[in-house]
Chain A
Amino acid sequence: MSEAPQLVVEDLHVRFRTPQRMVHAVRGVSFSVGREKVGIVGESGSGKSQTGRAILKLTPPNGTVSARRLQFQELDIAGASEREMLKVRGSRISMIMQDPKYALDPVMRVGAQIAEAIPETPRLSTAEKRDRVMAMLEAVHIRNPARVHDLYPHEVSGGMGQRIMIAMMLMAEPDLLIADEPTSALDVTVRMQVLAILDDLVTRRGLGLIFISHDLNLVATFCDRVLIMYAGRIVEECAAADLQNAKHPYTRGLLASLPRIGSRHQKLAVLNRDPAWLND
């Protein structure tokens, strides 16, 4: 990246206080994101989602975040007040959640939900807002926007729900999109469509994308760069195309444990976790 990165994260820590003990979920993560697709991969509990949430200051109340630097464009997120964050969330940085079933308001029509995300300035009339919503529904490849506009979330399929959420997140034209497992609730063929939409947005609008996923194959084929997280740390960073040649034993172990077409009659490699990975 020749131009300055959109987001710089240096030495990010997220800790949770539980009745039993202190859980150190993210332990000193550093990376930067430009106008590109950056994948964060890891297994459950690796801290990948908490990393995404910390960027938006959406860490649950029992967690504390600290970082040497957490900079988004000119804004110092680490020092930003809740008031300042309200101006950032959903307008300059948006987040796409895993499951549209839980993230959409069940008692509000789709069109109205998307319209809510339209910035307050300049003031638009109801008709203008409706036009913007329609245009956005079309942009995420919904063929009959007028019909979908008046549906409730329970009336749409999972794939369409996810596209509606993407439409909502793009309404404010953010510079950075954080997508937390955006396609794992979707069928494989629908997943392709949603990914293609995200891909085109990055290319056309030049936004930065943080793509959080547990699916190594998907990240390797979809993203530009990949960060591999294990136990709250980034253990390896590489170009997505080079993931097959990853060096860290954890990454290599994960890749080897994937069943493949053609792996019949072979035992799958089982990951032996080395305690040294926690510290190196």
Chain B
Amino acid sequence: MTDSTNPNAMISVRDLRVTFGTGAAQVHAVDGVSFAVKPGETYGLVGESGCGKSTILRALCGLNPNWSGDVTIGGEAMTPVRTRSFYRRVQMVFQDPYGSLHPRHTVNTTLAEPLKIHGIGEADERISRVLVQVGLGPAFRYRYPHQLSGGQRQRLAIARALILEPQVLLLDEPTSALDVSVQAEILNLLVDLRDRLGLTCILVSHDLAVVAHMCDRLGVMNAGKMLEELPVSALEDDSPTHPYTRQLLAASLGYDRRLASGAVEDIEG
């Protein structure tokens, strides 16, 4: 497998396929996707709902074992079932901080659990340190999720991912459930932590502006396939060539009746 994957990549995905259902109802959610992410790089996956971008993350992080293809993370080939040591290196932050936190666990319990699972000592110090890192501070330690705002919850979800000191952080729409002013805080925090800790990230988002803000390179997906990969500088120069990418780019700038008139014609019946 070493010959087929980039040895310098932190994450290398080749011909990844994920299908749901069987027979006539089978859906190819991810249909032969390949990409590689260098150490310290942030890679964006963009596309509309149902394009397979989140399914890729779920396959990468071990939440969905039903995939085929070659995936290596940190030089190690992945099998569908992951070892405990895998989760020390790869962690994920989910979209909805209202759903991803246990409502009856305090901040302290939420953060202590991964340490206990992995048999890591000095829980007390680590929890205080990570809380400061994500900008929550010690005052939040014994609160419950319902006592936190959306932005504070997402900070806690980030803290839970970082407490194991992973090398890879997978971000699934980390700000799409938040107000814009809170989104700015979380994006600043993620950029800051990534640079300080040297994290390799994959950011999944439907928002081209968020991806352009955080990432170095991105892949544009549609219907389970990777349409094109491009550096973020291509978005900044307004030079993407694929019509779908251009459509996403135009839509990210707001409403334009002239562009929309083309779109209205192509509605499926």
Chain A positions within 8 Å of B207 at CB level: 259
Is the CB–CB distance between B260 and A195 below 8 Å?
Answer: yes
Is the CB–CB distance between B48 and A189 below 8 Å?
Answer: yes
Is the CB–CB distance between B255 and A261 below 8 Å?
Answer: no
Q: Which of B67-75, B111-119, B137-145, B176-184 contacts A (4 or more CB under 8 A)?
A: B176-184
Chain B positions within 8 Å of A21 at CB level: none
Q: Which of B81-89, B155-163, B208-216 contacts A (4 or more CB under 8 A)?
A: B208-216
Residue interface mask A172-202, B partner, CB < 8 A = 1? 0000000000000001111111011101000
Is the CB–CB distance between A148 and B269 below 8 Å?
Answer: yes
Total chain A interface residues with beta-carbon distance under 8 A = 46
Is the CB–CB distance between B263 and A259 below 8 Å?
Answer: no
Report how many A-B pairs have Cβ atoms within 8 Å: 125
Nearest B residue to A195, CB-CB: B255
The distance from the CB of B85 to the nearest CB of chain A, in whole angstroms, is: 33
The distance from the CB of B90 to the nearest CB of chain A, in whole angstroms, is: 25
Q: How far is the CA of A260 from the CA of B212 in the complex (A)?
A: 7
Nearest A residue to B265, CB-CB: A141
**Any B CB within 8 A of the CB of A143:** yes
**Known: A147-B269, A192-B260, A253-B181. Contact between A259 and B210, CB under 8 A?**
yes
Q: Which of A43, A158, A189, A216 contacts B251 (CB 8 A)?
A: A189
Chain B positions within 8 Å of A187 at CB level: 48-49, 206
Q: Which of B239-269 contact A (CB under 8 A)?
A: 247-249, 251-257, 259-261, 263-264, 267-269
Is the CB–CB distance between A193 and B260 below 8 Å?
Answer: yes
Is the CB–CB distance between B187 and A268 below 8 Å?
Answer: yes
Is the CB–CB distance between B179 and A142 below 8 Å?
Answer: no
Nearest A residue to B207, CB-CB: A259
Q: Which of A188, A199, A270 contacts B185 (CB 8 A)?
A: A270
**Any A CB within 8 A of the CB of B122:** no
Q: Which of B136-195 contact A (CB under 8 A)?
A: 150, 179-181, 183-185, 187-188, 191
The 5 closest A-B pairs by CB, nearest first: A144-B269, A143-B269, A221-B254, A259-B213, A196-B260
